[in-house]
Structure 1
Amino acid sequence: MNKTEREQLRHLVADFKRWSERAAGVRAWHHAVQNVAGSDEQNLRARSLLIDRAGESAWRVVPLGGDDAGVVRRLRERAYLPVTTPGDQALLRLLTDGVPRALADVAPALGVRRFFSGSEKKRTAEEAGEFLRRRHPMVVGGDGPRRLEQLGVFTAPVDQAEPGFGALLDPALHFDLLSGPNAPQPELLDRSAVDGLAEALSTIDRVVAGEASYRSAARDAGQQVRVADVQRILAEMPVDALKAATRERLRLGALTQAGIRTVQEVLVWDASLQTLPGIGETSARHVLGAAQTLWRTTYDEMPVRIDIGDRHPGTTELLRRLAEWDACRQTRGAAADLERAAELAPLRTAIGRRTTSHLLVIPTRTLAAAGLRESIQIVERRAELLRASSVSRRRKSLAADPWEDFLARPADYFAMLSELGFLTEDEDAVHGDLPEEIIKAVRDQALSGEHLTVSLRGYQSFAARFALVQRKVIIGDEMGLGKSVEALAVLAHLRSRGETRFLVICPAAVVTNWIREVGEKSKLRGHRVHGPDRDRAARAWVRDGGVAVTTYETLAWWGSALTEVRDLACVVVDEAHYIKNPEARRTIRTNNVIARCDRAILLTGTPLENRVDEFRNLASYVRPDLVVDATDLSPRTFRRQIAPAYLRRNQEDVLTELPELIEVEEWLPMSAADTSHYRAAVGRSNFMEMRQAAMLQGPRSAKVQRLIDIVREAEENERRVIVFSYFRDVLDLVARSLPGPVFGPLTGSVPASRRQQMVDDFSSAEHGAVLVAQIMAGGVGLNIQSASVVVLCEPQLKPTTEAQAVARAHRMGQVQSVQVHRLLSEDGVDQRIVELLAGKKRLFDDFARVSDMADSTPEAVDLSEAELVRQVVAAERQRLAERASAGS
C-alpha cells in the first residue's frame, strides 16, 4: 500500500469512525427510550385492578396521578422514535458490528507499527481496508450519513408542555394495556367520577354488617331445619341403601344383627361401629363413609320447606328469625346493587391514593367502558337510599305468632329463603332455552332495585334483565311464577335511569290487581286508566308519569291521545294471548302501541292455545325478523328461531318449595235425569247444552252430588274451594246447591274492581268457603292462593284454559298442597273432548314449553274448536244411535 492509498484510507477511516459512533449512539438511544417506556407499562400493569362483572373480568382500571405525568411523555417519546426500516437496521448493524472490527484490523497498516507488522497482520489489514473501500460508497450512495442524523432525533417535538393523560388513548402510543382495534374503546375517568364511591362503599358495608347478625341468625335457623329434615329422611332410609351407594360392595349383616336398621342410626354410632361384632376398622370406615355420602347428597338436594300442617318448633324459630331480619333490613330488593358494590370494592385502593387524579378504564371483553361508570352510579345511588332510610329507621313491630305473618305473605318469606340459598334453582331452567351469547349478555346487564320494594327470586331477576337486554320480548313463564313482578322490575329499573312513563295493557279482570301490584311492590305510581275516572287518570299520568294501567277495550278510546305521548319507555301487555289474532281490532290497537315503543314485554303463560301460528303471531309483534321463515315448523327449529325473544320457565324447574299438585279425574256415571237431558241435547246437535247436561239436574245430578261431597271434605280439612265452569247456568245452580258460604258467581259481567273485592272477601272467609267462578273470567290474572281445592265442572276446549284456572291457586305463595278435581261423565261428551284434546296439549309441550322435541307435526294434532265440536257431536250421535239399535 503506497502513501496515496494510505492517505485515502485514513479519510475513509475518519468517516467510518464518525458514522460508527453516531450509529452506536442512535442504537443506544432507541434502546433506552424503549426500555424506559416498557418499564413504565409494566409498572402500570402491576398497579392496575381487574373489576369483575357477573363473575368474569370486565375492566382493567389503571389509577393515574401526578407521579405518572412523565409516563405519558416517555410513551410519547417511544411513539415518536423514528421507525427503522430493514435498510436502516442493516446500516446500523454494519456501523456498530462490522465496521468497528474492520477499523481495528486496518489500524496497523496506517501507523508506524506497519513497519513491525508480520505478514499475517498486513494481509488482515489489507482485507479490512478493502472492506471499508467497498462499503464507503455504499453508505454514501445510500444517503447513510443523513439517515443516521434522522434516526437520532424524534419525529415530532416532545419537549413541549407535559401531555395530559388523555394522550394514553391515542392508538399511536401503542400502549400495550389497551385492547385490540375491534375491542370496546377505553375511557379516561376524572377523579370526580369516583369521588363518592369510597364513602358509598363504606355506607353499604355498615348497613350490610348491621343486618349481618339477623341474616346469620336466619341462616342458622334454616340450617337447623334443613339438617332436621335430612335426619328425618335418613331415619326412614333402610341400611340397604348403603349398598346402592357403594355398588353392592358392603356386607351389612353385622349391622342388622346389632339392631341397626337405618342410615341415621349408622351416623349416630359413628366411630363406635368398629366395636360391633363382625365389623372391623376398615369395614366400619367404609360403612360410615357411605352413610356420610348419603347424608351429604340428601342435604345438597334438600330445600327448606315450610309445612303449615306440621308447625315444628324449628320451623317456627326459622319464621321468627326471618321476620326479624326482614324487619330490620334496608337492603331488600338491592341484591343486584350489593353485587355491584362487591365488584367495585377493589377500587378503594385506587381512589384511596391522594395522588390519583384519573382512572384509565380498559374493557377486557365486550362490555363498554361506560358500564363501569354506570356501576359506580348504581352503587352511589343505593348508598344514598340507605343513608336516607337509616337516619330515623325504626324496626316495625313483629307478629306474636310468626305463622300469621307467613300465611299473610308467604311469597316474601320464600324470597328470603331463596336469597339465603335454601331454595334450589336449576340454573339451566332459569335460562330457559336461550342461546349462550344472550345468557352472557343478560348476566352482564345491571338491574337496579332502587324503585322496587320486594326481593326478586333468581329466575325473576334473570327474566327482568333478559327483557332489558333484548328490549322487546315474550315472557312465557308458567302461570304462578310472578310474571307481573318480573315486568315491574323492568319498569323500576328504567325509572332509576330517568324514564318516567310506562303502560300496562291487560284484561279488565286484572286491572285492580295490577294497580295493587304497582303500589305494593314498587315505588312507582299507578294510574287506573279504565272506568269512569279514566279521563282524569290519563291526564294525571301524562302530567306526572308513572304506570298507566288500561285495558284492550279502553285503547279504542285512548289510542289517538296515546300517540301524542312521545316518551313512553315501555309497554307491558298482560295475558298477551288475547292478541293472538292479528285481524282483531284489539290486536291492531295494541300492536300499534308496541310498534312505536322502544321496549315491550308480552306476558302470557299460554302463548300457544290452538295453533302454532298464534304463537308465531305473538313473536312477530316483538321481533318480526325472527319469524319470517314459515317453511319448517318442526318444534326444534321453531324454538331456536324465536329464542332471542322468548323466555319460559316451568314451575317444577324453579319453584322447589311449591306444594304438591294432586290432580284427580273423577269419572262419574250419568243419573237417569242427566241421561235424558243429554240425549235431548244430542238430538238437537246442541254442543254447549251437551256439555252442561250432567250438571243441570241439581241434586239429581251425579256431578253435583260429588261436588257437595268435595266441599264438605274441604271444610273438614280446613281448606277453601274454587269451582270453575264455562257456563253461567251451571254456576248459578252450583251457588244455590252448595252449603256454607258461597261467593260469586264471578263472571265476565262483574266489574273488574268488584272481582278483586270478591276474591278478597273469599280469602278472608272461614274454611269451607267456595268461590264460584266462570273459567274465562276467574281463571285469568287473579291470584287466589287462599284456595287449595280446585273443581272443574266440565273439561274445557283448550288445555291451557284449565291450566290457567289451576294456576290461580297453585302458584308462588301457595303453602298447601293443591287438589284439582275434574268432574267427568263417563258416558257422554266429556270423554270425547278429553281424547281429542290430548293432541293440543302435546302441541303446546313441543313448541311453547321447553321440552324434548316430539316427532309429530302441528298439522297432525291441531284441531280448531269448530272442527272439535263437529267431530264430538257426530261421534255422540252415532254412539247413541248404535246403543239404541242394540237395545231394540
Structure 2
Amino acid sequence: MVGRAGEAAWRVLPLRISDVAVVRRLWQRATLPVATTDDRALLRLLTRDVPRAIADVAPVLGVRRFFTGSARRQSAVVAGEFLRRHHAAVVGNGGPGRLERLGAFTAPAEPGRLGLAALLDPALRFDLVSGTATPAPEILDRPVVDGLPDALDTIAKVVAGEASYRSAARDAGEQVRRAGVRQVLGEMPVEALKTATRDRLRLGPLTEAGISTVQEVLDDGVNLQALPGVGETSARRMLGAAQTLWRTTYDEMPIRIDIDHRRPETTRLLHCLAEWDSCRQTRGAAADLERAAELEPLRAAITSGVTHLLVIPARQLAAAGLAESIQLVRRRAKLLGTSSASGRRNVGVDPWDDFLARPADYFAMLAELGFVTEDDDAVHGDLPEEIIQAVRDQVLDGEHLTASLRGYQSFGARFALVQRKVVIGDEMGLGKTVEALAVLAHLHSRGKTHFLVVCPAAVVTNWVREVSSKTKLRACRVHGPERDRAARTWLRDGGVAVTTYETLAWWEPALRELRGLACVVVDEAHYIKNPQAQRTIRTKRLVEESERAILLTGTPLENRVDEFRNLASYVRPDLTVDADDLSPRTFRRQIAPAYLRRNQEDVLAELPQLIEVEEWLPLSAADRSRYRGAVERGNFMEMRQAAMLGAAQSTKMQRLVEIVREAAENERRIIVFSHFRNVLDLVARSLPGPVFGPLTGSVPAGRRQQLVDQFSSARHGAVLVAQIVAGGVGLNIQSASVVVICEPQLKPTTEAQAIARAHRMGQVQSVQVHRLLSEDGVDQRITELLAGKRRIFDDFARVSDMADSSPEAVDLSEAELVREVVAAERQRLFERDSAEA
C-alpha cells in the first residue's frame, strides 16, 4: 500500500518475468467452458461425494477386510452401493463426454497475448483488477521507479543531518509551551479543581494552607496529604484534577512570541529556530518530504528481479499520480544532493532582530514543528467533500518555490491547480500572493513558461519583489517607462510578467497573439466586479484565453451580491447560480467549485489580538459651524471632512495627536488613513515626530513602496499618512501596530482592507484600531448604514450558518446613501433649531 494524505492511495504489486506463468494459469482458468447447473452437480459429485465413498469402501478391500469390524463393513457396503448406482447414472447420462468438454479450453493460447499486460484484461478475471472502479489499474515499467531507493536514502540522510537542529528547536518549543502552561495555571484559582471533579472536592484545607492556585497544587504534589484535613484519597483526587487541568491547558496552548516580554525560554527557541533554518537544505520542501514518506513502502518491493509494477488505485487517483510522486522525490533528492551550506544565514545576530525582520518564516517553522495548529475544517473553507479529497490528492511541486508554505496556503494552491480557474477570497493578510506564486512555481516545473499578474499600479513593486524573493522565476515589470523592453523580454524568455489594469489597454493586442499563457493572476479582483467596465472586459478576455486563472480578493463582495456572482462567472461561466434564491447557504454551495475563503481567526492561531476602538467625540464650536454650512450647501463630502479641518481647534485632530504621542511612548508606529487629501495634508502638518506621506493615488507605485520602506525603518512614533483607497490596497505594513481611521468609509471592505495592511500574517504586536467618529452628524448616520453592508458580506462571502437573507433590504448605492444622509441631517438640524427657538 502507498499512502496519500494519510490514506491508502494505491496498491502496488511488483511483477517479474516469471510471473508470466501465473498469467498463463489465470488465462487457462478464464478460458475454461462455462459450467451449467448439471455440470456443477457432476463436478461436486466427483470431487466431494465419490472420494468420501471410496474412503469408506477401502477398509473391506484386500487383507484388511479380515480385521475390519462389523460397523465399518456395513458402511463399506452402503458406500459400494452408492458408487455402483452413481457410476451407472454418470455413464448413462454422458458424464465422460461432459468431463472431456469441461477440460478443454474455449480459445487457443496466444503466446504474444499472455504477457504481463494481460493482467489488465477484464476477461482474465484477476481478482485484484477485475471490478475496480475508475481510474483503471495500470502497469508501469521498471524505469519509472529506478533510482527511487537512492533518492529516499539521500532525503533520509539530509533529514537526519538536520534532525539534531530540528529536535533542539522542538525541545525549545516545548519549554516555551510548558512555561506558558505554568503561567496560566499560576493564575488559575484552586476553585477550578471543582470544575474538573464536578464539585466533589473540599478545598478548605488548601486555602488554609495558603495554596491558592492550581500550579501550587501541582508543585506540592505528593506532599498534599501531609496537610491537615487532607487524606491520601483527597490528595490523590486533588492532584489528579490539577493534572487534568494541566493537560487540557497544554493541549490548547499555542506558542506565542511576545516581543514585549522577551523571556529566556523564548529567546532560546528563536535561537534554535534560526540555527535550524540556517543549516537546513529542506526549506520549502515539506510537500516533497511528505511524498518521500508515502513512497517508503515501495523500497522493499523494488528488488533486482522486478521488471514492472501493477498499480491499482485505491481512490480516484490515476497510476500517473504515483509516477509523478516518484519523479518529484527523485528531483528533490537531486536538488538536496547538489545543494551546499553556502546559503547559511548568520545566526550570530540577535535572534529577536532576525525574528522581527521575517516573522512569517519563523511561524512557518513553528507550524512545521506542530506548534501552530490549524483547524482542518477552516482550512477547507466551505468546499464540498469531493473537492476537498481531490485537493488533498493533488501534488504540489516546490522545486521552484523558495518560501515555506503554511498548511492552509498549500491547500489553497492545490485547490487552484485542481479547479484550474478559481476565486481565492481568503481574508486579507493570509498570504494569497504566496499561494498564487506556489501555483506558478508548480506549473513552471511542468514545463510552463509564461505567467501574467494583473494588479493595481500601487502593488506592482510588491509583486515584483515577491516573485523574486519567494520563487526562482524571473519577474518582468511591464509597467512604466521600461514596459516595452520588459514586454519583449517576457514574450521571448517567459517568466512572470507583472502589469496593471490600465497597461492592459496598451498590451492586450500582443497578449492575445500569445498562445502559451499558462496562468493569469488577477490581484485585487474586486476591481473588475463591473462587467461593463473596459478593464473588466479586457481582463475577462485574458481569463478566458488562459489555461488557468486565479482571481485574488479579500473583499469579493463590497456592495451587491451580483458583483460577487460576476467574479465567479468570469472563472466558471458554467456554474448555475439561481438569481431567485439568494440565501447565503445556497449561494455558497452553488459557487463552491470556484471559490475558496478562509478567515484569519480560523487559520492564524498566532495572530496577535486586534483591538478596535470607536472614539465618539463631540464637535467643537468651530467644527459645528463648518458642518452646518456643509449641510446647508448639501455638500456630502464636505460634511464628512468638517470635523477634521479645524486643525488645532478640531476635537478629532486633538484626539489624533494624543493617540500618536501615546503610541510613541509605547514604542509603536502609526498609520493614519483618510479618504480626503485635504485631511491628509492637514494631518501631516499637525502631527509630532517623523511623518511620511501623504501616500495618495497620485504617488507613483515605486515611490509608494519607498515610503513604506522608509516608514518601516524609522524610529518608534513614526506616522505614515495614507489615502485609504491607495494605502489600503496591496501594501504590507506589519511594522505599524496602531491604525487610525479619520472618518467612516462608505464600504466596510475599504476599512477592512486598510486594517489588514497591519493586522496580517507576520504581525507580532497586537494591533490597535482607532475610529475617530463625531457624536453629532454624518458619522453616526454612515455607521448605522454600514452595519447592514457588513451583514451582507458575512452572510454571503464568509462561512455562515444563516439560512436566508434579503440583501436588497440593506443594500444602498453610494448615491442613495448620500441623498439619505443629507436629507436626514437637514431634517435633524432643522428640528434642533426649532426646539432651541
TM-score (ref. length: structure 2):
0.94
Matches within 5 A, 1:684-703: 684-703=633-652
Does the 8 Å CA contact 2:367/2:373 hold for their aligned counterparts?
A: yes
- Structure 2 residue aligned with 1:292: 243
Asked whether the 8 Å contact 2:671–2:740 carries over to 1, the reply is: yes
Report how far residue 125 of structure 1 moved. Answer: 12
1:447 aligns with 2:396: yes
SS of the residue 1:724 aligns to:
strand
Contact 2:90–2:96 (Cα < 8 Å) also in 1:
no
Q: Which residue of 1 aligns with 2:332?
A: 382
1:228 and 2:176 matched? no
What does 1:159-174 correspond to in 2, within 5 Å? 160=111, 163-174=114-125
Is the contact made by 2:648 and 2:654 (CA closer than 8 Å) also made in structure 1? yes
Deviation at 1:171, TM superposition (A): 1.4
1:275-674 matched pairs, under 5 angstroms: 275-351=226-302, 353-390=303-340, 393=342, 395-674=344-623
CA RMSD, Structure 1 to Structure 2 (Å): 2.4
Show the counterpart of 1:262.
Answer: 213
Structure 1 pair 190–631 and aligned structure 2 pair: CA distance change class (3 A)? same
2:213 corresponds to which letter in structure 1? T
- TM-superposed deviation, 1:418: 1.0
CA shift for structure 1 position 375: 0.6
C-alpha change, 1:825 and 1:133, in structure 2 (3 Å) is closer
Q: What CA distance in whole angstroms lies between the structure 2 residues aligned with 1:135 and 1:389? A: 79
Residue 339 of structure 2: SS of its match in structure 1? helix
Give the 5 Å matches for 1:778-793. Answer: 778-793=727-742
Give the deviation of 1:135 after TM superposition. 7.2
1:867 aligns with 2:816: yes
8 Å contact kept, 2:455–2:499: yes
- Work out whether residues 452 and 517 of structure 2, in 8 Å CA contact, stay in contact via their aligned partners in 1: yes
- In structure 1, distance between residues paired with 2:748 and 2:568: 21
SS in 2 for 1:810: coil
Q: Which residue of 1 aligns with 2:137?
A: 186
Say whether the 8 Å CA contact 1:179–1:362 is kept in structure 2: no
Conserved? CA contact 1:235–1:262, under 8 Å: yes
Deviations 1:200-254 (A, max 9, x none): 0000000000011001001111110110111011111110011112221111111
Cα gap change, 1:336 to 1:95, in 2 (>3 Å): closer
How far apart are residue 93 of structure 1 and its match? Answer: 5.9
The equivalent residue for 1:46 is: none
Say if 1:850 and 1:92 are closer, same or farther in 2 by CA, change over 3 A: closer
Residue 69 of structure 1: how far off its partner (Å): 3.1
* CA distance in 1: counterparts of 2:207 and 2:50, whole angstroms: 96
- Render the CA deviation track for 1:829-885: whole Å, top value 9, x for unaligned: 111100111100111111111122165411211111111111100000001111111
Are 1:746 and 2:746 matched, yes or no?
A: no
Q: CA offsets, 1:371-393, max 9 Å, x none?
A: 11011001011111101103x64
1:759 aligned partner: 708
Q: CA deviation at 1:462?
A: 1.0
Change (3 A) 1:794 1:357: same
Q: Is the 8 A contact 1:207 1:330 kept in 2?
A: yes
Distance (Å, rounded) in 1 between the aligned partners of 2:112 and 2:723:
82
Contact 2:582–2:804 (8 Å) recurs in 1: no
Cα deviation, 1:236-294, whole Å, max 9, x if unaligned, reads: 11100111122211111111111111000000011111121111111111111110111
Contact 1:616 1:627 (8 Å CA) reproduced = no
Tell me how many residue pairs correspond in the alignment: 817
For residue 654 of structure 2, the aligned residue among 705, 721, 736 is: 705
User: Could you tell me whether the CA contact under 8 Å between 2:13 and 2:310 is conserved in 1?
Assistant: yes
Displacement of 1:318 in angstroms is: 0.6
Pair 1:128–1:763, CA change in 2 (3 A): closer
Q: Percent identity of the aligned residues?
A: 76
Alpha-carbon deviation of 1:632? 0.2
- How far is 1:179 from its partner? 4.9
Q: In the alignment, residue 571 of structure 1 is paired with which amino acid?
A: V
Structure 1 Cα separation of the partners of residues 503 and 98 of structure 2: 82
Specify every segment of 5 or more residues in structure 1 that has no aligned partner in the other structure, as ranges: 1-49, 106-120
Aligned-partner Cα distance in 1 for 2:537–2:112: 65
Letter of the 1:600 counterpart: A
In structure 2, the residue matched to 1:34 is: none
**1:631 aligned partner, one-letter code:** D
* Cα offsets for 1:345-367 (capped at 9, x unmatched): 0111011x221121111111211
Within 5 A, what are the aligned runs for 1:185-264? Answer: 185-264=136-215
Residues 875, 131 of structure 1: CA spacing in aligned structure 2 closer, same or farther, 3 A cutoff? closer
CA distance in 2, matches of 1:75, 1:200: 36
Counterparts in 2 of 1:57-68, with a 5 A limit? 57-68=8-19
Q: Is the 8 A contact 1:67 1:355 kept in 2?
A: no
The answer for the alignment partner of 1:731 in structure 2 is 680
Equivalent residue in structure 2 for 1:150, among 64, 84, 101: 101
Q: Deviations over 1:723-771 (max 9, x none)?
A: 1000111111111111221111111111111111111011111111111
For residues 652-706 of structure 1, give each alpha carbon's deviation from its aligned partner in whole angstroms, at most 9, with x where no partner exists. 1111111111111111111111111111110110100100111111111111111
How far apart, CA to CA, are the structure 1 residues paired with 2:804 and 2:41? 72
Distance change (3 Å), C-alpha of 1:721 and 1:135? closer
Question: Residues of 1 paired with 2:176 and 2:792: CA distance?
Answer: 42
CA contact (8 A) 1:435 1:643 kept: yes
C-alpha separation between the residues in 1 aligned to 2:9 and 2:528? 41
Deviation at 1:161, TM superposition (A): 7.2
Unaligned stretches of 5+ in structure 2?
A: 58-75
Q: In structure 2, the residue corresponding to 1:217 is in which secondary structure? A: helix
Q: How does 1:15-54 map to 2 (within 5 A)?
A: 50-54=1-5
Q: Which of 577-586 and 124-133 deviates more? A: 124-133
One-letter code aligned to 1:356? V
Partners of 1:430 and 1:199 lie apart in 2 by 35
C-alpha spacing 1:610/1:97, structure 2 compared with 1 (3 Å): closer
> What TM-score does the superposition give when structure 1 sets the normalisation length?
0.89
Name the aligned partner's letter for residue 223 of structure 1.
E
